[in-house]
Amino acid sequence: MYVRVTAKGLAGRTFEKVQPGSLLAVTLDRGRTIEGFVRDVAGQPLARVRVSASPELGVPVSGWQAEKESIQAKTDVRGHFRLDGIGAGLHSVSATARGFGSARKGDVRPGGSVTLILRPGGWLAGVVDDPQGHPVQGALVRAEMEPRFMGGSTVETTDAQGRFELPGLDPGKYTVVARHADFAPGVASGITVDAEGRADVTIPLARGIAVTGRLVDTEEQPLAGSVAAQEVEGQPIARSLAELLRADTGADGHFRIDRVPPGSYVLGARARGHSGRRIEAELGARQALIDLGDITLERGLAISGRVLTSAGTPVADAQIATRVFDLMRGSSLS
């Protein structure tokens, strides 16, 4: 369970993998501030621009969770902003507004000042519907630029009419993902955003299908690992969607991914010390559950070597790590 503790004027703290029912003793330090201005390319101040500061953690953070980690404020008529409750360490400060692209400044220290310049840009507007075509209130929506899904928008919430706006987008093609606790995620791909223009999109949500199975080794012993969607309809999956369509196995090797949208998928399975495996799965709209059965992973190859100084002297007690690219989490160390 992910837990975020905040209080006005104090620096928030985040706890990951908290067991339900456990007792947390939380101490919040007094927060600091980051101030600055937002202007256009002509140097004129921009009012009512949303500015946010997020800690630079040095580890991959889910695009859906990034908003929870941020401190937000809006600029006044002078284009001035003040972000309170900033914790220790370096922060990334960004600004977004309708009709403009986004601007970002990294490595900002608490107590520092920054000026952000916004250039003209586009935005996305749309509606999220349920399977009956009714608007869905409270859905979270996020866009990522194709084809590498590197640049992402802020996370916005639909209103009572199911409407949303995603400001601060650079020109290009985007995949838009919508999520709601009662439905499978909805996806719209190939949405073109022009400079200084608006693009419209409707995202339908489905009930979704549960995908289950078990990871085992070649001796049919259960494996602790993870399973995640990597491709859909023959194309790489957007990061915002991949983060939702994944599951870790229990000690018995079993996994379950709930509310998967219908479609043709390639899933990736992996476990420490074993080679990964790709599994194809066809999920029909009328299915409620599909069981992939036992998924066997073979033991992986070992990497060995020596660590030497530039003079050729062996180095004892050096720590060695490998980096594996995981579409759901970015790069991860093992």
Q: Is residue 169 part of a domain?
A: yes
Integer Cα distance of 52 and 82 in angstroms: 10
- Which of 167, 183, 204 finishes a domain? 204
Q: Give the pLDDT band of residue 330 (cuts 50, 70, 90).
A: very low
Q: Is residue 323 part of a domain?
A: no
Q: Are 315 and 308 in contact (CB under 8 A)?
A: yes
Q: Are 47 and 37 in contact (CB under 8 A)?
A: no
pLDDT at 21: 79
Indicate if 49 and 81 belong to the same structural domain. yes
Q: Is residue 306 part of a domain?
A: no
Q: What is the mean pLDDT of residues 261-284?
A: 94
Q: What confidence tens digit (pLDDT) does each residue in 234-264 have?
A: 999 998 999 999 999 988 999 999 999 999 9
Q: Is residue 307 part of a domain?
A: no
Integer Cα distance of 169 and 125 in angstroms: 11
Residues of the domain holding 12: 3-118
Structure tokens at 229: 């969607």
- 85 backbone φψ class: left, alpha, beta (φ>0; ψ -120 to 50): left
Q: Are 74 and 81 in contact (CB under 8 A)?
A: yes
Indicate if 231 and 271 belong to the same structural domain. yes
Q: Is residue 131 part of a domain?
A: yes
Omega before residue 45 within 30° of 0, cis: no
Indicate if 127 and 106 belong to the same structural domain. no
According to DSSP, the residues that pair with 53 across neighbouring strands are 71, 93
> Which of residues 129 and 57 earns the better pLDDT score?
129
Indicate if 82 and 137 belong to the same structural domain. no
Residue 203 φ/ψ, nearest 5 degrees: -115, 110
Nearest alpha-carbon partner for 139 in 121, 158, 152, 154: 158
Integer Cα distance of 238 and 224 in angstroms: 25
Residue 61 above 70 pLDDT?
no
Helix (H) or strand (E) holding 66: helix 63-69
Q: Are 158 and 141 in contact (CB under 8 A)?
A: yes
Indicate if 12 and 82 belong to the same structural domain. yes
Q: What is the mean pLDDT of residues 282-293?
A: 93
At which residue do the structure tokens 């590197």 appear? Answer: 150
Indicate if 143 and 223 belong to the same structural domain. no
The percentage of residues in the chain with a pLDDT greater than 90, rounded to a whole number, is: 60
Residue 64 above 90 pLDDT?
no
- Which of 171, 204, 237 finishes a domain? 204
Q: Is residue 321 part of a domain?
A: no
Nearest alpha-carbon partner for 34 in 117, 95, 78, 93: 93
pLDDT at 67: 62
Q: What is the mean pLDDT of residues 179-199?
A: 91
Integer Cα distance of 234 and 308 in angstroms: 44
Indicate if 157 and 64 belong to the same structural domain. no
Helix (H) or strand (E) holding 239: helix 239-242
Integer Cα distance of 204 and 118 in angstroms: 32
Indicate if 129 and 194 belong to the same structural domain. yes
Integer Cα distance of 306 and 251 in angstroms: 34
At which residue do the structure tokens 């420490």 appear? Answer: 272
Number of structural domains the chain divides into: 3
Nearest alpha-carbon partner for 52 in 155, 172, 175, 126: 155
pLDDT at 147: 76
CATH code, domain with 65: 2.60.40.10
Nearest alpha-carbon partner for 177 in 96, 246, 243: 243
Cα dihedral sign, 220-262-240-171:
positive
Cβ count near 195 (within 10 Å): 13
